[in-house]
Structure 1
C-alpha cells in the first residue's frame, strides 16, 4: 500500500478538530483566497515558516477542510526524517506523505490538492532578517512535478510564522565547524544546524525546542498558473520557477505592507 492509499478520513477529521483551536485561537490564523483553487488536482506551492514547530500545514488544512470538506483530500509532501518510527504511519493516515515524485504523481492523479514547501529546511529556518524573502534554495523539483502531472501550480504565501522566535542563523557554518555535515546529509538529508532564540529556553542550537509565540499567521492563496495553457508544451523549468517565486514575493510583500506590528499582526 502506498503512502497515498493510507489516508484516513476519520483520523484526519479528528486531527483537524484538535488543530482548529490552536491555529484559530493561539495563532489567530486566516487563510484567504481559497476560492483560487481550481477544480480537480493542483499543486499548491508555499513558503515555509516556524522552524521545528511549524504550523503552516495545520493553518492551511483547517481552513481547507472547513471550505471544501473531506471528499477532496489534501495531501502534503513531507521531509523524509519526519517519518521515522511510528510517526510515519500516523502522518500518512492524515495526508502527509514522503516528498517523492511517485507519491506526488499518485496523489495528483487521484484528483487531490497537494501542498508542497519547496524550500524545506532551508526555508523554514531562514534568518529573521529575511523572514519576508521567498527563497527555495534553488530547488525546482516542484515545477517538474506539476508539468509531468499536467496540473496547475497554485502559489500561496504565509506571514507570521517566522515571528514565533528569533532565527539567528541556519547554522551551515556551525555544522561544517563541528564536522557534522556528512553525518547530517547521510541521515537527515540536511547540512544546517539552526541557531534560534526564544521562550522558554533562550538560545537554542536545534534543541531544546522553544515554544512559538502567539504570532498571528495569515496565508493567502494566489491565482493558479495553468502551465500548458500559458506556456504550451515543454516549458522551461527555471523560467517557471522564477515566475512562481516572483509572484509569491509580490504577494508576500503585500501581506508585509498590511502587517502593522510583529506578532500582533
Structure 2
C-alpha cells in the first residue's frame, strides 16, 4: 500500500527511516524487472502510456491514484515502464507506509527504491534529483468501493502539493484504471474500525472485499488479483509557479490536479467495454 496519504492521516508524522535512498540498487531493479515486466504484461495485459511526458531530467513528483487493495499492482506496472524508457541510472522512489518498508523485507524494498512516506523523505529524494511517485489517497484510495472505482478521491489530503512547492518541482499526474477490478470491493469499513476500536492504533479502515481464492475477506486473508487489464497514463506536467503564481493556493492546485486526473480517468473509463476484460 504505497502513498504519502497513509502517513498524512496522522498529520504526515510517521518515522523518518534514515537514508533509505542509499539502498537504491539499479542492478537489482534491472534483475527483478526481467521477470516482473513479462509477468505484469501477461497477467494484467498492462499498458503505460505517455511515459515521454515525464521531463527528461531533474526531480519530478509523480502523483497517482491508488488501486487494488492490499496487493496493489500499481508499482509493478509502472516501474518497469519507467526504467525501460529512462534507463537504470535515473532513480525512481515510491513512497510507502512504514509497515511496507520495515521488517524482513525492508532491505529488499529499499533496494527497489521504496522508501517510507514522510515529507522529509520525499523532500530529500527530490533534492537528490530523483523522480518520486506518491499516492496521496493511500489505503483510503486503494480500498475504495467498486461503485466508486473510477473516482479520483484523495480524502482531502494535500501534502503532495506542499511537497512539490517546497521542492520547486513539477507535478506530473498519473492515472490508472483496471486494478480496482481485480476483486469486488464492498466497503472501506470505517464503522467496523471504530466498533473494534482500531482507530486508536491509527487503523481507520477494515476493508471488506470478495475475490479468489478466499471469497469474503475482511482485510485478511488478501485475495489474489484477477487478471484485469490495467492501463496507466502519464499526463502533462504541471508547473505550479507558472500556472498559479509565486504564492499558490494549496487547495486550488490540489483541485486542479484532481480535476485533470478525473477527466483523464473518465476518458479511459469510457473506452473500457467490460470489467476485467478491458
- TM-score (ref. length: structure 2): 0.91
1:156-178 superposed Cα distances (whole Å, 9 cap, x missing partner): 10000000000000001111122
How far has the Cα of 1:232 moved from its partner?
Answer: 2.0
SS of 2:273's equivalent in the other structure is: coil
SS of 2:78's equivalent in the other structure is: helix
User: Does 2:210 match 1:192?
Assistant: no
User: Does 2:42 match 1:29?
Assistant: no
1:12-52 superposed Cα distances (whole Å, 9 cap, x missing partner): 11222221122110001000001110132110100000001
How far has the Cα of 1:90 moved from its partner?
Answer: 1.4
Distance in 1, Cα, partners of 2:145 & 2:28 = 35
SS of 2:89's equivalent in the other structure is: coil
Q: Are the equivalent residues in 1 in contact too, given 2:208–2:217 (CA < 8 A)?
A: yes
Distance in 2, Cα, partners of 1:150 & 1:133 = 28
Instruction: Return the match for 1:245 from 258, 267, 277.
Output: 258
C-alpha root-mean-square deviation of aligned residues, in Å?
A: 1.0
Query: Structure 1: which 5+ residue stretches go unaligned?
Result: none
1:93-125 superposed Cα distances (whole Å, 9 cap, x missing partner): 110011111211121112211110000000000
Partner of 1:161: 179
Partner of 1:182: 200
Distance in 1, Cα, partners of 2:102 & 2:121 = 17
Instruction: Return the match for 2:147 from 129, 135, 148.
Output: 129
Q: Are the equivalent residues in 1 in contact too, given 2:244–2:253 (CA < 8 A)?
A: no
1:47-68 superposed Cα distances (whole Å, 9 cap, x missing partner): 0000010010110001111111
Structure 1 window deviating more from structure 2 (77-86 vs 57-66): it is 77-86
Distance in 2, Cα, partners of 1:100 & 1:200 = 35
Instruction: Return the match for 1:236 from 218, 234, 249.
Output: 249
Distance in 1, Cα, partners of 2:104 & 2:138 = 22
Structure 1 window deviating more from structure 2 (110-119 vs 120-129): it is 110-119
Aligned residues, how many? 260
- TM-score (ref. length: structure 1): 0.96
SS of 2:100's equivalent in the other structure is: helix
Instruction: Return the match for 1:139 from 147, 157, 160.
Output: 157
Instruction: Return the match for 1:53 from 71, 93, 98.
Output: 71
Query: Structure 2: which 5+ residue stretches go unaligned?
Result: 1-17
Partner of 1:116: 134
SS of 1:82's equivalent in the other structure is: coil
Structure 1 window deviating more from structure 2 (225-234 vs 204-213): it is 225-234
SS of 1:77's equivalent in the other structure is: strand
